[in-house]
Structure 1
Amino acid sequence: MEGIAALAARVSQIEQLVTGMSSAAVTGASGTTSTAAGAAFASVLEEQVGAGTSTSTSTLSAADLAPSGETRINGDPLPVALAGHENGRLPEAAVSAVGDTGHRLFEPAARQLEKLLAAAQAQGVDIGITDSYRTYETQVDLVRRKGLYSQGGLAAAPGTSDHGWGMAVDLDLDAKAQAWMRQNAGAYGFAEDTPREPWHWAFQT
């Protein structure tokens, strides 16, 4: 936890350093385009990761931790209402409660999930929610505990998770509920889009 706290503190310092930097696009070694500020952010994070602040269960590279661009991890464009925000750092106004479940999602996703849950209940199907919107810090902690998906774990690289946009939900599903979701979730905008994670349902715009 000390390593994560140190990383979080360093991220805050870096964000202050890059404030006001040029937003001119640069091309990184991977061939992806980012802003100059993002490149600087990634460069310093790479130094921090190399200094031993990576998680205990997975190796995080600077690319893993760099601020995400304006597209979701699956390549779909972000909803206009989320443009200009950062994954895992959404303002309170951008997320909405899902009924009285204690969970939050991007507002249109929350409303559709409420309708889905009501329809399932009306048909005698019980669906629970285990996870929804995740802050950036929560994403970092999840990687520490469950490992990176790309390395066989169950967590997306911090700053890239659909959960960080409030656009995905993890559900508690028995066999009956799983079958119901596969047959009906699409009508409410949700899709089972992640191999090895039948509980993960993403809201499609």
Structure 2
Amino acid sequence: MSARATYEVLSHTERLRNKVFAIFTDDVVMPGGDTAKRDYMVHVGAVGVVAVDDDGRVALVRQYRPAVRQVLWELPAGLVDVEGEPLVDAAARELAEEVDLTAATWDLLTEVHPSPGCSNEKIRLFLARDIAPVPDGDRHARTHEEAEMELHWIDLDAAVGMALSGEITNAACLVGVLGAAHARDRGWKTLRPAASAT
């Protein structure tokens, strides 16, 4: 068995930076000694929420995404962009802001690198149960694309069918729906503590 290449980085150049991500170009030594340029995104990270109610339905939203110029089925989700905020608290904040829901029970469902060929983005997916509405006076005022988002309660098995048929293409949503169905079918015993997310 051969030793794994080290992929030494010879140079690291920032091309662009905004509040969500930065774009870099690295010169990287490849196996065999050649050098290649590799462009990629360094992302602040994200959380997503698979909220499942007492009737076995999952909370999904429809959101317009400019990069693909489509309205996609998605989970309530958002950026890890509040300094020092625990990841599960970020998930709870997004659930409240995007779909006016709270949850009494939180577990870590899984963690996903949705596009590691070009980004280091990591999405932590939490399972939220024991769902309740946010009181009317405490609801978040949504703007831009989020202003048009609507909450849809979809039977979890029907959502699995949507994922496998290609109706759901958002990676976090697809993984979250399939993961929640897997965990449910095992009595929720595969879940990890919410605080274990990194």
Same fold at TM > 0.5: no
Pick the structure with greater CA Rg.
2
Greater fraction helix: 1
**Normalization by structure 2: what TM-score?**
0.29
**Normalization by structure 1: what TM-score?**
0.28
Greater fraction strand: 2
Higher relative contact order (CA 8 A, sep 6+): 2
